[in-house]
Amino acid sequence: MSEVLAAAERAWDPADLVAAAASPHSAPRLRIRMGVGDRPLVGLGELVFAGDAVVQRLRDPVVEEVRLGRHPAPPAGTLVEAGVPLAGLRRPAPRFAAGGRTLHVTPGGVLRAVTARHTETVHAPAAGKVEALGPAGVTIRADAIGVGGVLAIGDPTFGRLVIAVRRPEDELPLPEINVGAAGAILVAGARIDVEALTRARAMGVRGVIVGGVVGRDLRSFAASEARQRASFHTSQSFALLVLDGFGKRPIPPLAWALLLAADGGDVGISSDPPMVLLDAATVAATAFADRVRVVADEALGRTGRVVEIVGRRRLPAGAMAMVARVALDGAGPGRSPEERLIPLADLERLEP
């Protein structure tokens, strides 16, 4: 019997206990959400290209009511145009002051619709095929590879990728965001603050990709975006994609390698799911066999190699957890190679 167990143990690699980093998604499904009054501008099965208009969205929608009288109720979700009598009804047919979509008829015979005087357009972040079309959104199967993030704010966008920092742990200096970056999607390193985001928006940047963001900056920027949307000024789409979490967090190595490979090419940012969309032929130039990355605490972002699984150890603050001895690289200023005991939960393998 011990032979059976011993054979199983020999085939066992302790490194398998370390979670693998998320792999890039091949041909990801992208969802572009629609409000109740929005209308799709594409059909089911249609091929779209990056930048194609896919959804017409109502700005500042309101609920409007008209009395139907003796007219039959139109089907729920019927499109209405501003000032145009409802299609299919005898004259004088009711009409709404602005365009949108019908909701329902109240028991008192009042037809409700959600309408808006202004609309804006949402564009496809990547080429692909419309795979699903429903009242709540459009789903596109993208002809791209998607590198997932943890959070995206803003609308889907696309543009030329510009790596604006030298290393994944760097931060983008404010003066380096200028009009030369108009139309680009900037890779901004480990963190971006609200001033840099606002400046990027003002300079015509289409999107920003970062490793981390401070929640307070995110909140300020979201408020600024809401104010901009509330104005009558129509602005181009802009998205912020956060790849790793909150605070200052270096861009994960595999994502960094893929972004480097895609530098200068056209890429997109999807907000649902949050991901950057790269050309399907993009291949990372770096191999990460047996490499791990520290994903929490003071060694956050450092990479290295598992020397051994040490076993269960008591950690600072008293918790017990499985721990590995990791040889950390010395890359970066002030960082020399060293060995540390790190909980397995705080490590991730860079290759599956």
Partner 1 sequence: MTAFPPVFFTVDHGTASTAAALIVSVGGRFRLTGSGAQPAGVPVEPLLTGLAAEVRALDAGLLAGVTSPPLEWRRIESATRTPPRAVVCGASSASASAAEAAVASSGWKIVGRVGPDRGQAGIGTQHCLDPDVELIVVAAGDPLGKGEREGLANLVNLVAAALDRRDDGVDVLLLGGAATSAAALPGERVVLGPAAATEPDAAPHPLLALLQTLAAAHRDRIGGTSGRPDGRRALIAATRSLAIRLDRRVELVDIGASAGLRVLADSFGLRGSMVWADAALVPPEVIDDDRSADQVLEWSTIHADQASLRDRVRNLALAPWRGVAGDGSRLRLAAARSALSRLDAAWHLPDEGDRPADYGADLLVASGGAFAVAPAPAVAMALLDTLRRPGSKALALDHARILGPLGGLDDEDERGRLLDDLYEDALVPLGSVIVATGLRAGRHLDALRLTTSDGATSQLELVPSAVQLVDLPPGVAATAELTTRDGAWLGVRARHFAVAVVGGLGGLLVDTREFPLRLPERPERRRDLLDAWQRPLWAGADL
Binding positions for partner 1, 248-277, rule CB under 8 A: none
Using rule CB under 8 A, residue 24 touches partner 1? no
- What does DSSP assign to residue 334? T
Binding positions for partner 1, 154-213, rule CB under 8 A: none
- At 51, list the tokens: 């930048």
Using rule CB under 8 A, residue 219 touches partner 1? yes
Q: Judged by CB, which is closer to partner 1: 50, or 344? A: 344
| 1 Cβ contact list (under 8 Å, min separation 6) | none
Using rule CB under 8 A, residue 82 touches partner 1? no
Using rule CB under 8 A, residue 320 touches partner 1? yes
**294 pairs with which residues across the strands?**
347
Asked if 238 and 155 touch (Cβ cutoff 8 Å), the reply is yes
Using rule CB under 8 A, residue 226 touches partner 1? no
At 53, is the secondary structure helix, strand, or coil?
strand
Stretch that binds partner 1, among 40-48, 49-57, 199-207, 242-250 (CB under 8 A): 242-250
Using rule CB under 8 A, residue 76 touches partner 1? yes
First vs last C-alpha separation in the chain = 32
Using rule CB under 8 A, residue 20 touches partner 1? yes
Alpha helices in 1-77, H assignment, sequence order: 2-10
Integer CA distances (angstroms), 253 to 257, 259, 307, 316, in order: 6, 10, 20, 28
- What does DSSP assign to residue 204? T
Q: Judged by CB, which is closer to partner 1: 281, or 320? A: 320
Positions touching partner 1 (CB under 8 A) are: 1-2, 4-5, 7-9, 11-14, 16-20, 35-37, 61-63, 65, 75-77, 103-107, 112, 114, 134-137, 150-151, 214-216, 219, 245-247, 295-297, 311, 315-322, 343-346
